[in-house]
Amino acid sequence: MKKAKTITKNVQCPISTVLSLIGHKWKIFIIRDLLEGAKRFNELKKATGASQKSLTKHLRELEDKGIVERKAYKETPPRVEYALTDIGYSLAPVLESMAQWGTDYIEYCRLKSKISGSSLK
């Protein structure tokens, strides 16, 4: 088994910082979907499954923190797109690590269930 790296536990804990910025499922889903490129509000709503109120709230929070940028086009009808900023794109490895861990955990649970199920027979 690998030994875990030592993680700082000071007042300005880096993990706390990350969780305060993206530690909500809708924020993670918003970032995940924007990693593919800019999207309009309704595209994000459909892709994430968030309610209009939640999506609006979390997009504003991500925009305030510099993770997402909102671009309004002067067209008729008006068009607004959301995209990740450079610092937002830098979260890609974090989400990729989370996705890999999730995949590994699902496999672990599947194997554990299979072993438990066969030992009962």
CATH label of the domain that carries residue 84: 1.10.10.10
For β-strands 79-84 and 39-40, DSSP reports them as antiparallel
Question: How confident is the model at residue 121, as a pLDDT?
Answer: 45
Q: Which residues contact 89 (CB under 8 A, 6 or more apart)?
A: 35
**Tens of pLDDT, residues 87-97:** 999 999 999 99
Question: How confident is the model at residue 114, as a pLDDT?
Answer: 84
Low-confidence ranges of the chain (pLDDT < 70): 1-11, 117-121
Q: 70 lies in which domain range?
A: 14-90
For β-strands 79-84 and 68-73, DSSP reports them as antiparallel
The tally of domains found in the chain comes to 1
Q: Which residues contact 37 (CB under 8 A, 6 or more apart)?
A: 83
| Structural domain includes residue 78 | yes
| Structural domain includes residue 20 | yes
> Cα–Cα–Cα angle for 19, 102, 66, nearest 5°?
30
Question: How confident is the model at residue 38, as a pLDDT?
Answer: 97
Question: How confident is the model at residue 7, as a pLDDT?
Answer: 60
Question: How confident is the model at residue 115, as a pLDDT?
Answer: 85
